[in-house]
């Protein structure tokens, strides 16, 4: 070759001709082999630049087809190729290889760096793949990489795919349209992307973003697709899974987690690999948002929103494993879950919220739904193991010993408790047990079996079918009822209605304010009355029946009864113990007929009458001493030896009239009389009985004109008196007797009453049919169940008066109305009267069940209540939505936050979803980061460009040799837009001035070094 001084330099491999010059034929062969059109070669040891506009600088640098002799493609044209560096090679057009052993073997490919490689693809289409770039020591674009592959970084590689990008030391890409950014990052699958130091993305469409992030590698080492992990050491190892945040680990298909790691160690790699540090999500279609959440591998379709939530497992951990795929070592994690249970379609929202059954919902701090389809909403709200339970409110809970004993219970309110099957508890601190209803603050229905407590502090704790309605109402007896503020029913089947009413005795009834009934089967209507005896009743106000005064009855006010079996009627009537009367003694009278026709009376022997019917067991009082009452409208009673009927005034009047009509003289009184005879002034001596022959039967007595006593022991006294019935008496003129009619009992309104004196020995007649008489001046008879005394008119009058009062009261019936206290509702408050024999109908309203069993009526709540609205505190639930006083509302028209922050919003997914602040901040942060990165890149590129410009200026500013045969060492400096550069160059002009060669190098303030070489020929 020309040596620049007019001669020729020796060329390795070209013979020297005689005379010292090169063998021109050999030189021509060398040039044809090693230099293309306009080729430039600088270096020793077989450097080659074959093709137009090619440059090969460096020992063994080559720009030629198949420079390594690896392929049979001699027709390739490496035009415009540049190979700079020892052993650098360019084997195709427009290729650039810069660096020791750098190799660019594809069209338009670039390899920069020691041992940087763009390898040839020996397939049919190998030459059609263009534009590959490998920058960095050992950076390699593999033979299987297609067009557009770019690897930048020491040891970065690509293979088996198109449109690949690997940026970072040892970054690796496999597959189509893959990207790996970061030292040791790996993207191994079509459209996979790994961004971050040691990040790994496997499978189709997977993304790993963050240091040590893993996406698309299953729990057995195989690949899964469409997985996304974002965050330091996050992992998405299920198909279609998403893990966002440091400490999020997702192992289930279609599942996701958003979490953050709370540093407990200096580095995250030292943290325990379990759910005490990280969120671990297994199963299918599960999603967890928050820190240290856990979802088991057998669970499906669950949502956890909060911290420290466990679904379907009590604990979880994972270990790191590796697998080799496509010659690449990939990391993955293998999870382990303890105490797993398959949970399906449940939701847990809140710190340490828990769901342990299918389709359950727990919302609130430590809220727990443990039964299928259960709902627990509120701080610490819990539902028991049974299905369909609902607990709403702070500390609200449903409880039971087993799933079968606790189903479909409802507890709503702070601290409300529903214990047992279908219990309903509504109100702060309300408690319902077993198929019961408690409604109101601190209300308790604790007896089980359809007990009901409604009202502030109401209690129905007496067992089955108890009902308490009203503030502090208390029903503690089985099947008992307490209605009214402070009403209390403690006896079996007892009923207390009214403010402060108390029913203590079994089957007792207390109706009215302040009544207290302690006796069994007793009752009080009015206020306030006190019934302490069994089988006793009082109707009226301020009445008292004392202990032991059993079977008593009071109708009236201000009455006190101390004796059993008594009936006291009327206001302030007095009670009295009964007195037995079995006989009566009447003083005797001796009547002496004087000669002058007058009669002289003197005391005679007393006569005792016995055998009275009836035995007294109590009294009926219709008044008090000094405040007596008549009994009026008394029907005539049977008048027999055994009759215990009440006698009315007409009966007594008849007897008295007969006595008044007695006339004539009484003569011939014998046998125990003071005189041995008596006489009766008759009309003639032929009148009957004139000869004392009117008594014809044994023991018979006949006294009077035409008097006749024809039956044994019969007495006939009076003109024409006839006693024809044994043991009978006919008193008064014309009186006659007939056979007695025994009357043992009478039935009144279905009730049979037995009488004393039911076996009469005879009759006493004071008249005859059509000629009756009154019996007057009759002393008051003893009134008792066994009394057979004659009753005078005053007694019957008093009885009639009492009966009139009873009739008036009974005829008035009972007034029925409604009232409401507290939050109760009364619809229709008019007063309705239910008369005797009438019917008061109880109607079961909405959500109530009314059951009649004989005389017992049971109120219960429908198993499936349906409310138009429910108000708890300031919160109202209606069929149109939910509203909170002073807070948000949710209606069919939408959600009104009421000026309050909307918290715990899940990240939006679809185009119309709401985004939460984390997403917004993340989006803004990402945008800011991208803008900042772009700004930094622009600034960096500007500085790099300015520095490059300064280098070019420095190199251009150097002078070069211009004298033939002279060389020049030159230096140049330049500054441009804050960047500086220095250049050093050597130039030489040949001895004949035809050839000029120039070699320059530069270094700029950005640390970049550039070299340039040139040669020219003058003619």
Q: Per the domain annotation, does 626 fall within a domain?
A: no
> What percentage of the chain carries pLDDT values higher than 90?
32
Q: Which residue has the tokens 């193991």?
A: 385
Of 121, 138, 170, the last residue of a domain is 170
pLDDT recorded at residue 669: 41
Considering only residues 17 and 127, tell me which one the structure prediction assigns the higher pLDDT: 127
Q: Per the domain annotation, does 357 fall within a domain?
A: no
Query: In this model, does residue 205 exceed pLDDT 80?
Result: yes
Q: Which long-range contacts (CB under 8 A, 24 or more apart) does 983-986 make?
A: 983/951, 983/954, 983/955, 983/957, 983/958, 984/958, 985/955, 985/958, 985/960
pLDDT recorded at residue 485: 93
User: Using alpha carbons only, what angle is made at residue 674 by residues 672 and 678, rounded to the nearest 5 degrees?
Assistant: 95
DSSP 155-208: T-EEESBSS-EEESTT-EEESTT-EEESTT-EEESTT-EEESTT-EEESTT-EE
pLDDT recorded at residue 820: 65
Distances (CA, A) of 241 to 237, 837, 872: 7, 77, 41
Q: Per the domain annotation, does 161 fall within a domain?
A: yes
Considering only residues 960 and 889, tell me which one the structure prediction assigns the higher pLDDT: 960
pLDDT recorded at residue 158: 95
Token pair of 563 as six digits = 């004796």
Mean pLDDT of 718-728: 89
Which of 677-681, 712-716, 974-978 is least confident? 677-681
**Residue 459 bridge partners (DSSP):** 444, 474
d(CA 227, CA 218): 10
pLDDT band at 614 (very low <50, low <70, confident <90, very high): confident
Query: In this model, does residue 34 exceed pLDDT 60?
Result: no
For 724, residues 6+ apart whose C-beta sits below 8 A from its C-beta are 708, 710, 711, 714, 736, 737
Tell me phi and psi for residue 172, to 5 degrees: -135, 135
Mean pLDDT of 972-982: 83
* Highest mean pLDDT (candidates 182-186, 643-647, 804-808, 899-903): 182-186
Of 138, 170, 202, the last residue of a domain is 170
Mean pLDDT of 466-482: 90
Give yes or no for a contact between 108 and 94, defined as CB atoms under 8 angstroms apart: yes
Considering only residues 665 and 509, tell me which one the structure prediction assigns the higher pLDDT: 509
Give yes or no for a contact between 471 and 457, defined as CB atoms under 8 angstroms apart: yes
Note the pTM of the prediction, 2 decimals: 0.54
Mean pLDDT of 525-542: 93
pLDDT recorded at residue 890: 74
pLDDT recorded at residue 249: 96
pLDDT band at 11 (very low <50, low <70, confident <90, very high): very low
pLDDT recorded at residue 686: 59
Which of 45-59, 651-665, 701-715 is least confident? 651-665
Query: In this model, does residue 195 exceed pLDDT 80?
Result: yes
Query: In this model, does residue 3 exceed pLDDT 50?
Result: no
Give yes or no for a contact between 219 and 334, defined as CB atoms under 8 angstroms apart: yes
d(CA 228, CA 287): 13
Nearest to 242 by CA among 902, 919, 912: 919
Query: In this model, does residue 695 exceed pLDDT 70?
Result: yes
Summary mean pLDDT of the chain: 81
d(CA 742, CA 12): 168
Query: In this model, does residue 778 exceed pLDDT 90?
Result: no
Which of 17-26, 195-204, 366-375, 880-889 is least confident? 17-26
Q: Per the domain annotation, does 41 fall within a domain?
A: yes
DSSP 356-421: -STT-EEESTT-EE-STT-EEESTT-EE-SSTT-EEESTT-EEE-SSSTTS-S-EEESTT-EEEST
Mean pLDDT of 848-872: 74
Mean pLDDT of 456-475: 88
pLDDT recorded at residue 53: 86
Mean pLDDT of 123-151: 84
Q: Per the domain annotation, does 765 fall within a domain?
A: no
Which of 285-289, 705-709, 918-922 is least confident? 918-922
pLDDT recorded at residue 676: 39
Distances (CA, A) of 660 to 599, 653, 679, 689: 17, 11, 19, 22
Mean pLDDT of 324-342: 92
Helix (H, G, I), strand (E, B) or coil at 929: helix
d(CA 133, CA 129): 12
Q: Which residue has the tokens 């709902």?
A: 375
pLDDT recorded at residue 663: 44
Q: Residue 945: which H helix or E strand, with range?
A: helix 917-956
875-878 β-sheet, strand order: 869-872, 875-878, 881-884, 889-891, 894-896
**Residue 586 bridge partners (DSSP):** 607
Query: In this model, does residue 803 exceed pLDDT 70?
Result: no
pLDDT recorded at residue 185: 96
Q: Residue 729: which H helix or E strand, with range?
A: strand 729-731
Q: Per the domain annotation, does 141 fall within a domain?
A: yes
pLDDT band at 664 (very low <50, low <70, confident <90, very high): very low
Of 170, 204, 227, the last residue of a domain is 170
Cα first-last separation, the chain: 17
pLDDT band at 685 (very low <50, low <70, confident <90, very high): low
Q: Per the domain annotation, does 461 fall within a domain?
A: no
Considering only residues 400 and 73, tell me which one the structure prediction assigns the higher pLDDT: 400
Query: In this model, does residue 242 exceed pLDDT 90?
Result: yes
The count of domains in the chain is 2
Query: How would you class 585 by CB atoms within 10 Å of its CB: exposed for 0-12, middle for 13-18, buried for 19 or more?
Result: exposed
For the domain that residue 965 is a member of, what is the CATH number? Answer: 3.30.1300.30
pLDDT digit string, tens, across residues 208-219: 999 999 999 999
pLDDT recorded at residue 364: 87
Helix (H, G, I), strand (E, B) or coil at 323: strand
Q: Which residue has the tokens 């003619």?
A: 1019
Considering only residues 897 and 87, tell me which one the structure prediction assigns the higher pLDDT: 87
Considering only residues 930 and 620, tell me which one the structure prediction assigns the higher pLDDT: 620
Q: b/e for 519-538, b at 16 or more Cβ within 10 A?
A: bbbbbbbbbbbbbbbbbbbb
pLDDT band at 374 (very low <50, low <70, confident <90, very high): confident
Mean pLDDT of 220-241: 94
Q: Per the domain annotation, does 1002 fall within a domain?
A: yes
Domain that holds residue 981: 945-1017
Nearest to 644 by CA among 753, 513, 770: 753
Token pair of 82 as six digits = 């540049």
pLDDT digit string, tens, across residues 257-310: 999 887 777 677 767 888 888 999 999 999 999 999 999 999 999 999 999 999
Query: In this model, does residue 667 exceed pLDDT 70?
Result: no
Half-sphere exposure of 365 (CA within 13 A, CB side): 3
Q: b/e for 730-768, b at 16 or more Cβ within 10 A?
A: bbbbbbbbeebeebeeeeeeeeeeebbbbebebbbbbbb
Query: In this model, does residue 39 exceed pLDDT 60?
Result: no
Query: In this model, does residue 856 exceed pLDDT 90?
Result: no
pLDDT band at 72 (very low <50, low <70, confident <90, very high): very low
Query: In this model, does residue 32 exceed pLDDT 50?
Result: no
pLDDT recorded at residue 461: 85
pLDDT band at 9 (very low <50, low <70, confident <90, very high): very low
Show the 3-state SS of 867-925. Answer: CCEEEECCEEEECCEEEECCCCEEECCEEECCCCCCCCCCCCCCCCCCCCHHHHHHHHH
* Highest mean pLDDT (candidates 305-319, 361-375, 629-643, 870-884): 305-319
pLDDT band at 678 (very low <50, low <70, confident <90, very high): very low
Mean pLDDT of 524-552: 93
pLDDT recorded at residue 125: 47
Sort strands 537-539 and 722-723 into parallel, antiparallel or unpaired: unpaired
Give yes or no for a contact between 399 and 370, defined as CB atoms under 8 angstroms apart: no
Roughly what angle, to the nearest 10 degrees, separates helices 649-660 and 793-812? 160
pLDDT recorded at residue 6: 38
pLDDT recorded at residue 10: 42
Mean pLDDT of 497-523: 93
Query: In this model, does residue 355 exceed pLDDT 80?
Result: yes
Query: In this model, does residue 365 exceed pLDDT 60?
Result: yes
d(CA 561, CA 648): 27
Which of 171-185, 356-370, 639-653 is least confident? 639-653
Considering only residues 150 and 921, tell me which one the structure prediction assigns the higher pLDDT: 150
pLDDT recorded at residue 854: 73
> What percentage of the chain carries pLDDT values higher than 70?
83
Give yes or no for a contact between 462 and 476, defined as CB atoms under 8 angstroms apart: yes
Nearest to 767 by CA among 726, 723, 736: 736
């Amino acid at each position: 070759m020309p040596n620049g001084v007019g001669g020729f330099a020796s060329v390795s491999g070209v013979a020297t001709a005689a005379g010292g010059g090169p063998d021109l034929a050999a030189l021509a062969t060398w040039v044809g082999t090693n230099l293309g059109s306009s080729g430039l070669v600088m270096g020793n040891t077989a450097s080659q630049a074959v093709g137009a506009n090619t440059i090969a600088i460096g020992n063994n640098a080559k720009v030629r087809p198949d420079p390594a002799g690896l392929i049979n493609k001699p027709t390739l044209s490496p035009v415009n190729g540049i190979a700079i560096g020892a052993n650098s090679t360019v084997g195709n057009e427009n290729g650039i290889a810069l660096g020791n052993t750098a190799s660019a073997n594809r069209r338009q490919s670039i390899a920069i760096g020691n041992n940087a490689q763009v390898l040839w693809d020996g397939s049919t289409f190998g030459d059609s793949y263009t534009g590959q770039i490998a920058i960095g020591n050992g950076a390699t674009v593999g033979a299987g990489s297609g067009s557009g592959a770019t690897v930048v970084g020491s040891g970065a590689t690509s293979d088996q795919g198109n449109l690949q990008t690997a940026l970072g030391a040892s970054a690796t890409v496999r597959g189509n349209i893959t990207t790996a950014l970061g030292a040791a990052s790996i993207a191994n699958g079509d459209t996979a992307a790994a961004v971050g130091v040691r990040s790994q993305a496997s499978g189709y469409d997977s993304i790993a973003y963050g240091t040590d992030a893993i996406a698309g590698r299953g729990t057995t080492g195989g690949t899964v697709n469409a997985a996304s992990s974002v965050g330091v050491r996050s992992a998405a190892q299920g198909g279609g899974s998403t893990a966002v945040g440091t400490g999020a680990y997702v192992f289930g298909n279609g599942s996701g987690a958003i979490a953050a790691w709370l540093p407990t160690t200096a580095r995250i790699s030292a943290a325990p690999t379990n759910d005490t540090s990280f969120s671990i999500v297994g199963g299918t279609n599960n999603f967890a948002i928050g820190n240290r959440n856990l979802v088991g591998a057998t669970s499906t379709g669950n949502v956890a929103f909060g911290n420290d939530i466990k679904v379907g497992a009590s604990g979880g951990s994972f270990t790191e494993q590796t697998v080799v795929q496509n010659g690449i070592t990939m990391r993955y994690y293998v999870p382990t879950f303890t105490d797993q249970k398959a949970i399906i379609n449940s939701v847990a929202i809140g710190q340490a919220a828990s769901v342990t059954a299918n389709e359950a919902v727990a919302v609130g701090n430590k809220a727990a739904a443990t039964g299928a389809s259960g709902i627990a909403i509120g701080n610490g709200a819990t539902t028991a193991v049974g299905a369909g339970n609902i607990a709403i409110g702070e500390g609200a809970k449903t409880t039971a010993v087993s799933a079968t004993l606790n189903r479909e219970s409802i507890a709503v309110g702070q601290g409300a408790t529903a214990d047992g099957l279908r219990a309903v508890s509504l109100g702060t601190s309300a408690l319902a047990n077993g198929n019961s209803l408690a409604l109101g603050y601190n209300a308790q229905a604790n007896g089980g079996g359809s007990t009901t407590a409604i009202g502030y502090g109401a209690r129905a704790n007496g067992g089955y079918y108890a009902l308490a309605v009203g503030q502090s109402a208390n029903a503690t007896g089985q099947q008992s009822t307490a209605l009214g503020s402070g009403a209390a029913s403690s006896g079996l089947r007892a009923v207390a209605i009214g403010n402060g009413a108390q029913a203590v005795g079994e089957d007792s009834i207390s109706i009215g304010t302040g009544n207290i009934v302690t006796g069994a089967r007793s009752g009080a209507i009015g206020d306030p009355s006190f019934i302490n005896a069994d089988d006793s009743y009082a109707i009226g106000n301020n009445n008292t029946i004392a202990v032991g005064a059993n079977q008593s009855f009071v109708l009236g006010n201000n009455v006190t009864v101390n004796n059993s079996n008594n009936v006291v009627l009327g206001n302030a009537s007095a009670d009295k113990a009964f007195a037995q009367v079995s006989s009566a003694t009447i003083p005797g009278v001796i009547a002496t007929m004087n000669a002058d026709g007058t009669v002289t009376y003197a005391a005679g022997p007393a006569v005792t009458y016995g055998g009275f019917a009836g035995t007294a067991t109590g009294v009926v009082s219709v008044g008090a001493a000094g405040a007596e009452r008549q009994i009026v409208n008394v029907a005539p009673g049977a008048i027999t030896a055994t009759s215990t009927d009440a006698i009315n005034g007409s009966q007594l009047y008849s007897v008295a009239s007969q006595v008044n009509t007695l006339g004539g003289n009484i003569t011939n009184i014998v046998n125990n009389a003071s005189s041995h005879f008596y006489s009766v002034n008759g009309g003639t001596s032929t009148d009957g009985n004139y000869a004392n022959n009117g008594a014809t039967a044994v023991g018979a007595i006949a006294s009077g004109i035409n008097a006749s006593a024809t039956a044994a022991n019969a007495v006939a006294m009076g003109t024409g008196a006839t006693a024809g019935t044994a043991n009978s008496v006919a008193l008064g003129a014309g009186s006659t007797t007939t056979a007695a009619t025994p009357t043992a009992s009478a039935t009144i309104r279905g009730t049979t009453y037995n009488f004393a004196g039911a076996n009469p020995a005879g009759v006493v007649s004071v008249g005859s049919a059509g000629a009756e008489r009154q019996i007057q001046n009759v002393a008051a008879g003893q009134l008792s169940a066994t009394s057979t005394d004659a009753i005078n008119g005053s007694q019957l009058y008093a009885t009639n008066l009492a009966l009139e009062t009873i009739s008036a009261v009974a005829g008035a019936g009972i007034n029925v109305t409604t009232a409401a206290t507290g939050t109760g509702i009364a619809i229709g408050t008019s007063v309705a009267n239910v008369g005797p024999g009438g019917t008061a109908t109880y109607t079961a309203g909405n959500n109530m069940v009314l059951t009649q069993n004989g005389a017992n009526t049971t109120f219960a709540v429908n198993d499936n209540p349906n409310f138009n609205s429910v108000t708890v505190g300031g919160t109202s639930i209606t069929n149109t939505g939910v509203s909170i006083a002073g807070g948000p509302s949710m209606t069919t028209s939408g959600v009104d936050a009421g000026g309050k922050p909307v918290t715990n919003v899940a990240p939006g997914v679809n185009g119309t979803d709401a985004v939460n602040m984390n997403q917004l901040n993340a989006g803004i942060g990402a945008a800011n980061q991208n803008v900042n990165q772009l700004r930094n890149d622009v600034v960096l590129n500007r500085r790099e460009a300015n520095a490059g410009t300064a280098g070019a200026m420095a190199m251009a500013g150097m002078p070069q040799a211009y004298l033939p045969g002279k060389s020049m060492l030159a230096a140049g400096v330049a500054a441009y837009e804050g960047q500086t550069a220095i250049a050093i160059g050597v130039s030489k002009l040949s001895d004949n001035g035809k050839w000029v060669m120039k070699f320059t190098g530069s270094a700029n303030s950005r640390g970049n070094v550039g070299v340039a070489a040139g040669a020219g020929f003058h003619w």
